[in-house]
Chain A
Amino acid sequence: EAGVAQSPRYKIIEKRQSVAFWCNPISGHATLYWYQQILGQGPKLLIQFQNNGVVDDSQLPKDRFSAERLKGVDSTLKIQPAKLEDSAVYLCASSLAQGRYEQYFGPGTRLTVT
């Protein structure tokens, strides 16, 4: 079974530029999550989708971050414009459904904002 795929793996941009990350969850997984992991910290949930609907985006900085999952499968996370403090690893995870189902994590995208 293929795992969660993310691209790109690494990205370096200048502040005020925009960037987009892509995630393809495990086939058949209805729930998709985006996390931000700043160096030295644990992952922080940014947004959770159930199929193509948003379940929780309470910690997403909506003035600059956006995410979509239009067809209920793959998802994109965008930052526009980026700030220095956005430097982090962005992790995507998926689970079969909400509730007691395990989350499976992708390898992450390491973003450096200069």
Chain B
Amino acid sequence: AQSVTQPDIHITVSEGASLELRCNYSYGATPYLFWYVQSPGQGLQLLLKYFSGDTLVQGIKGFEAEFKRSQSSFNLRKPSVHWSDAAEYFCAVGPNNNDMRFGAGTRLTVKP
């Protein structure tokens, strides 16, 4: 069965600092992997996705993620965080774009 673990419920970083959000997955085959962001009162927005090919994926808003098959991980990174990045971040895994399983999310707080 497919599952996603986001070990960090809440992370606080200072504005301008680097960010890494962790995501570990369990899946029997090569998965489709996604990162979504959810701002308060809004729906989810896709940041980036991995299907195949280059394991370092670039997304919107300056985010990137790296697929590491040996570690079953798909961590999200950003070199310099902006106050507007404060939100909830969800990692998801699935056999395709339709049948995704989401992690519980990581809430990001950005300190001035």
Contact = CB atoms under 8 A, between A and B. Distances in A.
Contacts of A102: 46, 49, 97
Interface in A24-82: 31, 33, 40-45, 48, 55-56
A43 B98 contact: no
B103 A99 contact: no
B54 interface: no
A53 B110 CA distance: 43
Interface residues of A, number: 26
Nearest to A91: B43
Nearest to B92: A42
A97 to B, nearest CB: 9
A102 B105 CA distance: 19
A95 B90 CA distance: 19
Interface string B37-77: 00001111110010100000000000000000000000000
Contacts of B90: 42-43
A95 B46 CA distance: 12
A70 B49 CA distance: 32
B9 to A, nearest CB: 8
Q: Which of A40, A95, A103, A108 has the largest number of chain B CB atoms within 10 A? A: A103
Contact of B104 (A40, A48, A55, A103): A40
A4 interface: yes
A98 interface: yes
A87 to B, nearest CB: 17
Contacts of B97: 95, 98-103
B42 to A, nearest CB: 6
Question: What are the 5 closest A-B residue pairs judged by CB atoms, nearest first?
Answer: A42-B102, A105-B43, A105-B44, A107-B43, A106-B43
14 contacts: A41-B102, A42-B4, A42-B105, A45-B99, A56-B98, A56-B99, A99-B98, A100-B51, A100-B96, A103-B100, A105-B44, A105-B45, A106-B43, A107-B41
Interface of B: 4, 41-46, 49, 51, 90, 92, 96-105
Interface of A: 4, 31, 33, 40-45, 48, 55-56, 91, 93, 95, 98-108
